[in-house]
Structure 1
Amino acid sequence: MLLAVAVAVAAVAVAVAVAVAVPALRHRLIRSALLRSGARYRRRLEALGSDLRLSQERRLRRLLGTGTAGGERGAAAQGAGRGRCHARPSQLVLLPAGYEEFQERHPLRQPCRDEAPGDPVPRLRLWALLAGCGDTDPRLQGSLLYLDVLGAAFPRALVHRGTALLHWSPGCPRAPAGWPLPSLYCTPAAAGTVPSRAAALRLQLLFALRQRALHVLEAGLAAELQDTLVALRTEWPRLAQELALGRLSPQPGLPEEVRGQLQALLTPDAARAAELRAECTRGFEGIVLRLWPQLEVVVVRTAHGTERLYCDSLCQADCQGLPFYCPFYQAAGALLGINLWPVEPVPRFLLCPDWAFCEFLPCLANKEPRTVLLDELWEGREYGLVVTAQPGEYRYRAGEVLKVTGFHKQCPMVEPVRRESQTLSVRGESIPEEQFCQSLCRTLRMWPGARLIDYVCVESSLLGDSSGPCAPHYEVFLELQGLRDLSEGQRYKLDQRLQEDFPVYKSFRFKGSIGPLRLHLVRPGSFSRLREALGSPVPMPRVLREEQLLRLIQGSVIS
């Protein structure tokens, strides 16, 4: 009898061990195959960078459906700026009738609206990947490069279920950075698709807390990571209770059907709940690394531009001691570049010549400058981006300005500088978003104890009659930590700083054709609600253009 029991127990133990080991083994095998493919594509990228014009021509021909055979015929077309990026003279036949005809047939199209980062999860067949059939899909190429770069910089980052995902994707699952290897993630896909942004991020946080041995924390937007950690600060007692009981509480915005699916994945974990309570009781400085002591890196797929505000804030507080890696550059709904340097504090993106056909408008040229090509860029200069990434969608102005920071081989490395749609202007004075942010941050240094959480601006034309009978002006809505009110003198400091930083604005203020800036403080959590009201996960707009969003932020004003 005892022997039979022992045999049964042993059989159960072996079955459990096999059940645990098989997914981990499958993960390692697929990871190995993907890393080999990533290394192969990285070598291919190096080769593509040796002749940018030929690579760009081939990409455009595929988009036009004309093949690539003409790429080897070529009529010489020298790029004026090619020498400064060490490119050898190459040949260009972008169309049988020439590049000028392509421009004439397809005039520049208006700037695109901000797109949600990430793409719907594609279907990937491993045999096609191993055969190299997926080499022309930029999404696949980008994710393979991401896995290759991340694994090389952080050797334990690609372990089974070692990554937690924080990203709201209402309606349909959106591809995480490592989508070809879904076994990387410990977060259920259903947790991010619920209608409520707040509920989605809280659910993903709960499942991340269950996995103490995390190596990577991934967010779609830096703002999503910030709002998730704000939820941790406010709801940690309830989260600890749910961990201890293994029971998911009802909450607004969480459909019962989804709640039932996720509840089936939870089991009680009293030890982890006790650890959560102990660490949160100590405070929230460096809380991320204390809760997940094996964490190596925070991956944020969109962290450039004014999203850097959130990254900088997190680095100084909750995420102390952790590097931030922003792997992709996306614009106009297309994947355009990859960051191959994950440990550098400021992301630089290598524009990949085989992902889209790119043109550039020099920012300091005449009113109607001609577009230049990928191998005609100059280091240190700024350019407006024009993208052809999908068949039938030619020459879209992306609405973004890039700065060329250097070259890798011949491929330019760029840093996104600003979004053209986010420029303040009530009299044609034109204050770009990144320069306004710099002026605002300098002003805050004159307010002792104040820490900027978030901000938006509004041009008085959107206010209508509520702005009163005054000259056109800006209104700025701030969420601050450390200050509950501002004196009139403090409020004027920002207007004064703008006059010092922008002579044209100062001139209009002196003439009285622009009125004084008005500053408002809003209650905590206002910007989280504003991001949910946007309806899709897009980078935070700094200049509101919609009355609905304006009314929401006006309703949060406390001073």
Structure 2
Amino acid sequence: MLLAGLAVALALLLWAWHRRPGGAGSWGLVLRHWLALRVLGWAAGWQRWHLEQASQDVRQSQERLLLRLLGGARAAEPGSAAFRARCPLAERGSNGGKTPAHPALPTGPWALLRSSCTADSPLQGPVLYLDVLSRVFPEALSPRGTARFSWAGGCSQPAAAWALPILYSTPEEAGTVPSHTAALYVQLLFALRERALRALEAGLVSELYDALGVLRAGWEGLAQDLASGRLSPHLELPEGTRRRLEQLLAPDAARAAELRAECTRGWDGVARRLWPRLQVVVVAEPSSEQLYGEALRELECQGLPFYCPFYSAAGALLGVNLWPEQPDSRYLLCPGWAFCEFLPAGPGAEGPPETVLLADVQEGQEYELVLTDQAGLSRLSQTLSVRGEGVPEERFYRSLCRAVAMWPGARLVDYVCAESSLLGASSGVCAPHYQVFVELRGLRDLSEAQRYKLDQCLQEDFPVYKTFRFKGSIGSVRLHLVAAGAFRELRDAAGSPGPMARVLREKRLLHFIQSRVVS
């Protein structure tokens, strides 16, 4: 009976899948969506079983993964011990924190079915994520119930696009607009057309932050476009793209009036006021973008739960969040996704670097993560270091927040750092130092005494930094204020999407942010 039912479901799935959108009505798309959800639940059960099996013996699972990464049988003496002995940390390559290009996910329900048969499927993560999301937020996978904000230039396909044909309210063309800001504007416009949205999704929390920034700056133009059913002539779009997008629009004066009324009321909780049926915000929120998540929770997305489905670092996927209802994100590290090593950090971590394997980490200890993924790249977290002092970006952020709290009326909007060596001869003859650029709200200028507070906080938080400052081998921090919107422009200038780099490594980007300094 079960096999017969499965055969009927597969037959219906095959029939519906071959009924392409061009030749089928909307009921056909809805049927495909419904069938894909049924197959998704079945595949998720198998993938959970695969993950449980891999997690029972983490050491063996990691050894199998490393063998695959090293080339299988071609690798002489494969294994973690031989790998670490032959490839010390100092000799391994690094991509400098850039996100490598990953191959596109296989598409369609048949790929979903095949994915359940193997533990190392590239679809394991998305399958688990979508299943968890639908269990905790039952309406989150409704047809056209999700607004996606992401710039497609170099960006991977959305996690759900390959399986659920009409999940998103935004057409694919909206993500191919050449300009980042224009793409977000178009995506926001199509999202505003759907009052019954259940979820807001973004590849990164900074993209949702920028999209709602577009709403704040341009809601009157968006309301006009909604009312007319046409895109603003001031929006820079290729003519063919503009024509295709406008074919999907229709005048909606009532929705335009609602948008004007809600934006006039202010920005506290505006997302839930514009979309009353919203259930969840789905974003990737790496540590370098924590600032944007905090700002959204306090203002535009007030009262909405945030679900961060994956834990990743420098483009490598490491774990999945199976508990979206928890306010603090927790992740299950998946031993078949990346080979993980842990470098002891924090107090008492001295001596030559020797990594600890995933199966040997100790609860309560602090580590720096070292990864080897499918691209064969090893990565360490970003740090500031002009004399080998090694100030991690997340701890620098805490010191910066402490300094900002000493500036009456100031609120930190954004920041970025650079080492003075990146300036070359233009940095002058002074000792190596940190260049720090901040955008503030509530304060237009800082005295020299206020600027020095940051250097004092760094000395208090990092004894090694304090020692170098005392010796004069590291100079005082140079703190600069930039114009409002400078960091949104910096993300546009960076080109390819990726988490905000808090430590700049490119002269081009450093010169760009320098050109926005106002004090």
TM-score (norm 1): 0.82
Matches within 5 A, 1:101-500: 101-103=82-84, 108=89, 109-116=92-99, 119=102, 121-132=104-115, 135-170=118-153, 174-177=157-160, 179-251=162-234, 253-301=236-284, 303-363=285-345, 367-390=351-374, 393-394=375-376, 396-399=377-380, 419=381, 421=382, 423-500=383-460
Partner SS state of residue 367, structure 2: strand
Given the superposition, is the C-alpha separation of residues 357 and 500 from structure 1 closer, same or farther in structure 2, using an over 3 Å criterion?
A: closer
Change over 3 Å in CA distance of 1:499–1:187 after alignment to 2: same
| Counterpart Cα distance in 2 of 1:280 and 1:118 | 38
Matching residue's letter, 1:126: P
| Post-superposition offset of 1:483 | 1.2
Distance (Å, rounded) in 2 between the aligned partners of 1:542 and 1:389: 23
CA RMSD of aligned residues (A): 2.5
Q: 1:189 to 1:289 in 2, by over 3 A?
A: same
Report which of the two structures shows the higher radius of gyration computed on alpha carbons.
1
Q: 2: distance between equivalents of 1:359 and 1:42?
A: 24
**Compared with structure 1, are the counterparts of its residues 542 and 177 closer, same or farther at alpha carbon in structure 2 (3 Å cutoff)?**
farther
Following superposition, the deviation at residue 517 of structure 1 comes to 1.9
Deviations 1:421-462 (A, max 9, x none): 3x2222333222111111111111222221111001122222
2: CA distance, partners of 1:261 / 1:292: 26
Residue 125 of structure 1 and its aligned partner are, at CA, apart by 3.7
Matched-pair contact (CA < 8 Å) for 1:323–1:345: yes
Mapped to 1, the partners of 2:468 and 2:352 lie a distance apart of 26
2: distance between equivalents of 1:503 and 1:513?
14
In structure 1, distance between residues paired with 2:63 and 2:155: 34
Deviation, structure 1 residue 48:
2.1
Q: 1:46 aligns with which of 49, 52, 64?
A: 52
* Counterpart Cα distance in 2 of 1:359 and 1:429: 22
Deviation at 1:103, TM superposition (A): 4.3
- 2-side partners of 1:429 and 1:196: how far apart? 39
The 10-residue stretch of structure 1 (381-390 or 284-293) with the greater mean CA deviation from structure 2: 381-390
- 1:41–1:95 distance in 2 versus 1, CA, 3 Å: farther
**Partner Cα distance (2:134, 2:76) in 1:** 40
CA contact (8 A) 1:166 1:218 kept: yes
1:31–1:382 distance in 2 versus 1, CA, 3 Å: same
- For the structure 1 residues 342 and 528, does the alpha-carbon distance in structure 2 shift closer, same or farther, using more than 3 Å as the test? same
Cα gap change, 1:346/1:499 in structure 2, threshold over 3 Å: closer, same or farther?
same
Task: Give the secondary structure class of the aligned counterpart of 2:202.
Answer: strand
Partner of 2:10: none
Which residue of structure 1 aligns with residue 21 of structure 2? none
Stretches (4+) displaced over 6 A: 94-97
- SS at 1:552's partner residue? helix
Pair 1:43–1:334, CA change in 2 (3 A) = same
SS at match of 2:266: coil
* Stretch of structure 1 that moved more, 304-313 or 182-191: 182-191
Distance 1:462 1:171, change over 3 A: closer
2:107–2:163 Cα contact (<8 Å) kept: yes
1:545 corresponds, among 491, 500, 505, to 505
Distance in 2 (alpha carbons) for counterparts of 1:497 and 1:102? 40
Quick one: structure 1 residues 54 and 328, their matched pair in 2 at CA, closer, same or farther if it must change by over 3 Å? Answer: same
Cα deviation 1:8-67 (Å, max 9, x = unaligned) = xxxxxxxxxx94433223211211111221122113212221122232333344445648
CA separation of 1:351 and 1:178: change in aligned 2, threshold 3 A: farther
Gapped regions of structure 2 (runs ≥ 5): 1-23
Q: How many residues align?
A: 491
- Contact residue 118 and residue 176 of structure 1 kept, 8 A: no
Secondary structure of the equivalent of 1:458?
Answer: strand
Could you say if the C-alpha distance between residues 346 and 113 of structure 1 is closer, same or farther in structure 2, counting changes exceeding 3 Å?
farther
Work out the CA distance in 1 between the residues paired with 2:439 and 2:270.
Answer: 22
Corresponding letter in the other structure for 2:208: L
- Matched AA of 2:189: L
2:32 aligned partner: 26
Q: What amino acid does structure 1 have at the position aligned with 2:264?
A: T
Alignment check: 8 A CA contact 1:386 1:397 kept? yes
Say if 2:372 and 2:379, in contact at 8 Å, map to a contact too. Answer: no
Q: Distance in 2 between the 1:476 and 1:287 partners? A: 32
Alignment partner for residue 64 of structure 2, among 46, 53, 58? 58
CA distance in 1, matches of 2:139, 2:291: 29
2:33 and 2:493 mapped to 1: Cα distance?
Answer: 38
What is the CA-CA distance between 1:98 and the residue it aligns to? 5.5
What secondary structure does 1:139 align onto? coil
Q: Aligned to 1:515, which of 475, 481, 488? A: 475
User: How far 1:114 sits from its partner (Å)?
Assistant: 2.9
Aligned-pair CA distance for 1:228: 0.9
Q: Deviations over 1:314-364 (max 9, x none)?
A: 101111001111111233543221111112233222111222333333346
Q: 1:332 to 1:542 in 2, by over 3 A?
A: closer
Task: Give the Cα–Cα distance (whole angstroms) in 2 for the partners of residues 446 and 98 of structure 1.
Answer: 51
**SS in structure 2 opposite 1:454?**
strand
Paired residue type of 1:254: L
Contact 2:385 2:419 in 1 (8 A): yes
Moved more, 473-482 or 271-280: 473-482
- 1:117, 1:220 within 8 Å by CA — same for their partners in 2? no
Partners of 2:121 and 2:403 in 1: how far apart?
Answer: 42
More displaced stretch, 115-124 vs 479-488: 115-124
Q: Distance in 1 between matches of 2:354 and 2:456?
A: 38
Which is further off, 330-339 or 111-120?
111-120
**Alpha-carbon distance in structure 1 between the residues aligned to 2:264 and 2:351:** 59
Change in CA separation of 1:340 and 1:173 when aligned onto 2, cut-off 3 Å: closer
